[in-house]
Amino acid sequence: MSPRLGLGAAPLGNLYEPVGEEDARATVDAAWDAGIRDFDVAPLYGHGLAERRLGDALRGRPRDQYRLSTKVGRLLVEGRDEASIFVGAPALRPVFDFSYDGVMRSLEASLERMGLDRVDTLLVHDPDDHAEEALTGAFPALRRLREEKVVSAIGAGMNQAPMLCRFVREADIDCVLVAGRWTLLDRRAGEELLPLCQERGVEVTVGGVFNSGLLARPTDQASFDYAAAPPALVESARRLEAACRAEGVDLVTAAVNFPARHPAVGTVLVGARSPAEVSENATAFGAVVPEGLWARLEREAARHWRR
């Protein structure tokens, strides 16, 4: 089965800049019209705003025609988070909670915000500093939900590969979402995680394919992993862009299609905040990329990719 393109809903939670209600709805509608049927969200995104907006847009759609994932590990409590990267987010503050009860409360709250009766996939979200609590609390809760057929699949979503490898080995999960670690610039997920998932039959969703902006527009002002991109990485991205240009392909097209080349990858997740961005991503994902370009990019990656 060929990898699918999915819509990541973080931008719909006003990530870095506001998105109007009409634009948010139009973005999801455009994704549906483009044939996208995989949608990913989390309580963190807009402190509940993205879940509400995505639920509003999907509620009238045939429920058996799309896959929806959300996450657990952060509960939303009263209070404003002044350091939030979500502009104008509701006066709710995300707090880590990887306990068994926290998972149950989180799922209940997510369903209420979305106005839906179920999600298909439930992921433990960013347990970087909470691995033991996740293994003893969150994952047992997820396994119970799967056994009771409340959800179809369980897993973890993170910006790192080593801990995801541990969860694949120890937590009896069905899938992982790895963000930013299987891109043209950063190949760390390919060292162990992707081969392990392929061996164990664990489906991989790849997010962060633009490394938060650098692989979309490699300028001196670009971001990498939600911070200012170091000059050396900007230069690497520009070399990749030049290699793409030499083969008649734009960098966005290469960045979106690269993750799908690994057999463990089932979904490539791309965020969007407007119908135009959805259209650009969908067109890029459907483009044919010459094999010669991949060979050229592999040579560049051997020199520059981030370990």
Q: Which residues are catalytic?
A: 45
Alpha helices for the chain (secondary structure H): 21-33, 49-58, 100-114, 131-133, 139-147, 162-170, 193-200, 231-246, 251-257, 275-285, 291-304
Give CA separation, 15 vs 84, 95, 195, 249, in Å: 9, 18, 32, 28
Q: Is 88 left (phi over 0), alpha (psi -120 to 50) or beta?
A: left
Give the closest residue to 254 by CA, choosing from 209, 221, 211, 299. Answer: 209
| Beta-carbon contacts of residue 96 (< 8 Å; ≥ 6 apart) | 73, 74, 130
Q: Which amino acid is at 122?
A: L
| Beta-carbon contacts of residue 172 (< 8 Å; ≥ 6 apart) | 139, 143
Give the closest residue to 70 by CA, choosing from 172, 150, 171. Answer: 150
Contact indicator for 226, 10 with CB cutoff of 8 Å: no
Contact indicator for 157, 125 with CB cutoff of 8 Å: yes
CA torsion, ordered 68, 73, 77, 82, to nearest 10 deg: -100
Give the closest residue to 124 by CA, choosing from 148, 96, 94, 82. Answer: 96
In degrees, to the nearest 5, what angle opens at C-alpha 219 toward C-alphas 217 and 225?
A: 70
